[in-house]
Structure 1
Amino acid sequence: MTNTDLRAELRENLDEAEWEWLIPHAQRDALIFVVEELDLLDVGVAIAGDNVSQVQTWIDEALITKPSVAQIGKWNTQSAKRFKTLIVQPYVLVQEKAAA
């Protein structure tokens, strides 16, 4: 599958979710937090396409991380908080949505 095909397929999976819906994924350590400076689709394509060097760069620069205990604690007090989401099995990529 080419990156273009992969991008088109992943674009179909872009969605939004409330924190409450994401808690089970957090509990199984499957959430990956993506900073808003990165394009969620770009990250998904890199992970799904096994672009190890790009993904490692983002990890090294703390642009993609597992949510911290502090972040999860904060989100637990805001169950209606919304995130942009992208499922890239076995992970769920999440990006905070700016408050409306």
Structure 2
Amino acid sequence: MTDTNEELATKIDIADWLSLRAHLERGGVIVVDPLLELAEVGAALAADEVQKVQRWLSSSLLSKPSIEQIQKWDADKGKIFNCLIISPYVLIQEPTPQNP
């Protein structure tokens, strides 16, 4: 993990969908697949690593929320996400269940 990744990892927060929805209105929400590390994605965006980000986008590891996702989350406004702000974007990721 690079220094930037480590620094960004400390900035990952938890937010509910109701709090995040305002960012959706301005097109700033990006969904990060659980296969990726949130801090790594944030570091790549901050460093403008276009090829890496394009690869994630083309393989659907990064995406804008779909209409189906938005409807599902609107029905469960208490839905919790891990989030990381890399202005102007808010990266969100559904938490993965921890192994016992």
Indicate whether the TM-score tops 0.5: yes
Q: Any unmatched runs of 5+ in structure 2?
A: none
Match of 1:48 in 2: 46
1:70 aligns with 2:76: no
Moved more, 51-60 or 3-12: 3-12
Alignment length, in residue pairs? 98
Q: Any unmatched runs of 5+ in structure 1?
A: none
The 2-side partners of 1:27 and 1:35 are apart by 21
Match of 1:11 in 2: 9
RMSD of Structure 2 on Structure 1 (CA)? 1.7
User: TM-score of the superposition, structure 2-length normalised?
Assistant: 0.90
2:27 match: secondary structure? coil
Give the residue type in structure 1 aligned to 2:60.
Answer: A
Match of 2:32 in 1: 34
User: TM-score of the superposition, structure 1-length normalised?
Assistant: 0.90
Change over 3 Å in CA distance of 1:68–1:18 after alignment to 2: same
Give 1:98 shift: 4.0
Identity of aligned residues (%): 42
Q: Is the 8 A contact 2:9 2:38 kept in 1?
A: no
